[in-house]
Amino acid sequence: MTKTNTPLLLRALDGETLERPPVWFMRQAGRYLPEYRELRAKAPDFIAFCLNPEMAAEATLQPMRRLPYDASIVFADILLIPRALGQEVWFEAGEGPKLGALPDLDRLAGEIEASTERLSPVGETLERVRAALEPERALIGFAGAPWTVATYMIEGGSSDRAKARTFAYQRPAEMDRLLDILVQASVRYLAMQANAGAQVLKLFESWAEGLPEDLFERLVCKPHRAILEGLDELGVSVPVIGFPRGAGSLVEHYADTVGVEAVALDTAVSAAMGKRVQERCVIQGALDPLLLRAGGSALDRRVDELLEQWGDGPYIFNLGHGILPDTPIPHVERVLKRITDS
């Protein structure tokens, strides 16, 4: 691959400070696009949609056709892993995910190898997307991080994570074992994605929020390190973006101890903290999705501010959280133009 068509995202992840940062948005494939809503309506349920390579590839590619994103992220869901490990997972309209009872840990552990096989449609999605995507646009694979996935498995759905955190305090050995099972399944799943064409991998730790430092180290940093080591052992060498959402002041500890190529920052990270993290690795973030939806001159000003505060170091422009379903497409177009023109 010549320098000319090396994707901008890969150059940024390599530590280059570029003329303008690469840009992509979390949930850029999704409900704010009418063509997505139309496609989604054809699938019997959300899990079937994610595991149908033709539909998932189409959903992944839809935003790439109409918007100048520098990277594409495979359309999938962080709860595909617990499902592949044998826990029941289903989605109820307007209610978010639901999960059946947490299976016995021995039983879960026995399903690790088979889980990767069950997730092979995601690999096929990646192959289809890679074949259709221009070479200068990067392709990202991902997994939910172990603690976040464990909170859903323990709580049975979206929650305040109080039950899962209490589980971590009161049954530490079982919690560590559950995280280890998820680490092993994630390593295999992510390696499969890299082999299928993912050039970057992202770990979504959506619920790092509120964890005291000792738990943050044990439940977030340690499993993330184990995943990186596992990928290393399998010879997978694609860059990894870690997203400890809500880590607050602990994001510095994360950057110091985990070893990801890039740390994705949420909406609440201060300019100063972002710079501290940027001294250690590439940063990504952190426009407020509510501001993207609201639009107006406040949006323009904030985009400029982010470019100014972090743009002189290795930086990937993104939101601090997923794009909201009712975001007007012209707002997205306006921000992308502002960045690609910058």
Residues recognised as catalytic? 27, 31, 40, 77, 152
Q: Is 298 in the site for its own copies (CB under 8 A)?
A: yes
Question: What are the C-alpha distances in Å from 335 to residues 34, 36, 303?
Answer: 19, 21, 7
* Phi and psi based region of residue 156 (left: phi greater than 0; alpha: psi -120 to 50; beta: remaining): left
- Of 8-16, 40-48, 133-141, 268-276, the segment contacting its own copies by CB under 8 A is 268-276
What are the backbone angles phi and psi of residue 19, rounded to the nearest 5°? Answer: -60, -40
Residue selected from 44, 272, 330, 341 as contacting its own copies according to rule CB under 8 A: 272
Q: Is 270 in the site for its own copies (CB under 8 A)?
A: yes
Strand partners, 263: 242, 283
> Closer to its own copies at the Cβ: 18 or 215?
215
Q: Is 334 in the site for its own copies (CB under 8 A)?
A: no
Beta carbons of 227 and 204 less than 8 angstroms apart: no
Q: Is 241 in the site for its own copies (CB under 8 A)?
A: no
Selection from 141, 88, 91, 87 nearest residue 111 by Cα: 87
- Of 79-87, 133-141, 151-159, 266-274, the segment contacting its own copies by CB under 8 A is 266-274
Angle CA 137–148–187, to nearest 5: 60
Selection from 122, 150, 148, 151 nearest residue 60 by Cα: 122
* CA 329 – CA 74 distance, rounded (Å): 20
- Of 26-34, 55-63, 138-146, 295-303, the segment contacting its own copies by CB under 8 A is 295-303
Selection from 334, 314, 333, 331 nearest residue 20 by Cα: 314
* CA 287 – CA 309 distance, rounded (Å): 12
Q: Is 166 in the site for its own copies (CB under 8 A)?
A: yes
Burial of 212 (0-12, 13-18, 19+ CB in 10 A): exposed
Smallest gap from Cβ 336 to its own copies, in A, equals 19
Q: How many residues bind its own copies (CB under 8 A)?
A: 41
Residue selected from 175, 250, 281, 282 as contacting its own copies according to rule CB under 8 A: 250
> Closer to its own copies at the Cβ: 53 or 244?
244
* Phi and psi based region of residue 15 (left: phi greater than 0; alpha: psi -120 to 50; beta: remaining): left
Q: Is 294 in the site for its own copies (CB under 8 A)?
A: yes
Q: Is 5 in the site for its own copies (CB under 8 A)?
A: no
Residue selected from 8, 51, 251, 316 as contacting its own copies according to rule CB under 8 A: 251
Q: Is 328 in the site for its own copies (CB under 8 A)?
A: no
Q: Is 210 in the site for its own copies (CB under 8 A)?
A: yes
What residue ranges bind its own copies (CB under 8 A)? 162, 165-166, 169-170, 172, 209-216, 246-253, 266-273, 286, 288, 290-291, 293-294, 296, 298, 302, 305, 320
